[in-house]
């Protein structure tokens, strides 16, 4: 983990997310463990959140339309019940998600996840 902190402190762009398929790397869920690992490596909550938003947009050359909240940018964001700068674990405390300008309340997200999970239930 000290390598990650050294890279970050040296100005090397760190991007949140993995490109390595693993049995325990479930999109949408494993990212929370990754964010906590980044904190344990010495990054601040702000740096961790930036690594999954603005830094990704800079990397892909889309900062003009994504990566930060501003008029005219794509409206993809989370509304949380607690401050993620106090703890990145608060990213899991969703009220809902704005996706392509469409509001999805947490109750709708949970219904979708429950429906998906039921397709994998044991017989």
Digits of tens for pLDDT over the chain (123 positions)? Answer: 588 889 989 999 999 986 656 666 666 678 888 899 999 999 999 999 999 999 999 999 999 999 999 999 988 899 999 999 999 999 999 999 998 889 999 999 999 988 988 887 666
SS3 28: coil
Spell out the alpha helix ranges (H) of 1-123.
2-9, 30-40, 45-51, 54-60, 106-118
The single residue listed with the structure tokens 């909550």 is 45
Burial class (CB in 10 A: 0-12, 13-18, 19+), 19: exposed
Total number of residues shown for the chain: 123
CA distances from 95 to 57, 99, 108, 113 (A): 24, 13, 11, 15
């Amino acid at each position: 983990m000290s390598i990650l902190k050294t890279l970050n402190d040296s100005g090397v762009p760190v991007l949140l997310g993995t490109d390595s398929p693993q049995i325990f790397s479930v999109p949408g869920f494993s990212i929370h463990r990754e964010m906590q690992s980044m904190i344990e490596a010495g990054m601040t909550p702000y740096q961790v959140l930036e690594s999954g938003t603005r830094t990704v947009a800079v990397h892909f050359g889309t900062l003009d339309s994504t990566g930060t909240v501003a008029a005219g940018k794509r409206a993809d964001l989370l509304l949380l019940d607690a401050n993620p700068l106090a703890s990145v674990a608060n990213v899991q405390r969703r009220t809902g998600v704005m996706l392509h300008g469409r509001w999805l309340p947490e109750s709708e997200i949970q219904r979708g996840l429950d429906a998906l999970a039921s397709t994998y239930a044991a017989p």
